[in-house]
Amino acid sequence: MSKNLVFALFFALILSGNAQDTRESKNLIAKGAKVTKAGGGYKFTEGPSVAPDGRVFFTDQPNDKIDVWNENGTITTFMQPCDRSNGTYFNKQGELVACADLHNRLVVITMDKQQRTIAENYNGQPLNAPNDLWIAPNGGIYFTDPYYHRDYWETGRKEVQDKRGVYYLCPEGKVIRVIDDYKQPNGLIGTPDGKTLYVSDINDGKIWKYAIQPDGSLANKTFFAPEGSDGMTIDNRGNVYLTNKFVSVFDKTGRKIAQIEVPEQPSNVCFGGKKRDILFITARTSVFTLKMKVKGVN
């Protein structure tokens, strides 16, 4: 085979791959839609979660506040201070559950801004600093507990837990550790049937997939994607969305099918709006939206 023919076949394969990726991206994103800045002026946005009415609540941890995006384009402040909330998620009661790392705890915030603590230690020792969470259909809560030192912590505060782990808060209130072999756990998301959990080991640059057991424990650890992720979400086709340098989209088999570029490096993502068809992206000092063909399920 001639060198010219080899090069021709090589470039044809590249073009074919790009075309396939483009087609799959178009199957995800609404026709003509572009990433649009929805708000700015923040220090570090994180933790977006969708309320039952489609509004998205998100945090600005350095400014110790939770803001709310509405589909009409407005953004208002919901709560400030908020115990340095980071990751958030709505429970079935319409309450906001937050990883509040000012005092190493998981809290529930009602819509009238009343707050209660639901987890703050494991084996009698304080948690390191809960970071992100996902609530299973049975009400059990999976949350990551890495260690990122904060300037606002009291002098002398140290990492207490012997592992940077992932925990499960059982519906009856007991905290169990379900993952203890990560360098730095961070984002996580589960499937709406409550059978599968995806978890990011961000410092190892990997996503792992687990089968959720009836007692909340995890089994069948399986490699899913060769990228770490700060925050994660999932759509109604089972595609998993990761946030690192871009918003990366992997189908349920672990094949990367799209890469969404954002003007600022994304930190987390969820689906918002009344139809759950708006991808809401937190990204450092700003937040962005993108109209989608697919819809969120969480």
Q: Are the CB atoms for 252 and 235 separated by under 8 Å?
A: no
- Judge if 19 and 98 occupy the same domain: no
DSSP state of 255: -
Average the pLDDT over each of 20-24, 26-30, 48-52, 228-232 and give the range with the smallest value: 20-24
- Judge if 6 and 45 occupy the same domain: no
Residue 241 is assigned to a structural domain of this protein:
yes
Two structure tokens written together for 8: 């021709």
Residue 296 is assigned to a structural domain of this protein:
no
pLDDT of residue 298: 76
- Judge if 282 and 149 occupy the same domain: yes
Tally Cβ neighbours within 10 Å of residue 20: 11
- Judge if 12 and 50 occupy the same domain: no
Two structure tokens written together for 65: 């506040």
**C-alpha 16, offset from chain centre:** 32
pLDDT of residue 96: 98
Residue 67 is assigned to a structural domain of this protein:
yes
- Judge if 40 and 10 occupy the same domain: no
pTM of this structure: 0.92
Two structure tokens written together for 80: 């400030």
- Judge if 110 and 152 occupy the same domain: yes
**Strand order from edge to edge, sheet including 105-109:** 85-90, 96-100, 105-109, 115-119
Residue 89 is assigned to a structural domain of this protein:
yes
Specify whether the backbone of 238 is left (phi greater than 0), alpha (psi in -120 to 50) or beta: left
Which CATH number is 109's domain given? 2.120.10.30
- Judge if 172 and 205 occupy the same domain: yes
- Judge if 51 and 26 occupy the same domain: no
- Judge if 28 and 42 occupy the same domain: no
Q: Are the CB atoms for 187 and 242 separated by under 8 Å?
A: yes
Tally Cβ neighbours within 10 Å of residue 153: 15
**Over pLDDT 90: what percentage of the chain?**
88
Digit-coded pLDDT (tens) for 92-123: 999 999 999 999 999 999 999 999 999 999 99
Q: Which residue range forms the structural domain that includes residue 185?
A: 33-291
Beta bridge partners of 34: none
Tally of domains in the chain: 2
- Judge if 145 and 1 occupy the same domain: no
- Judge if 3 and 128 occupy the same domain: no
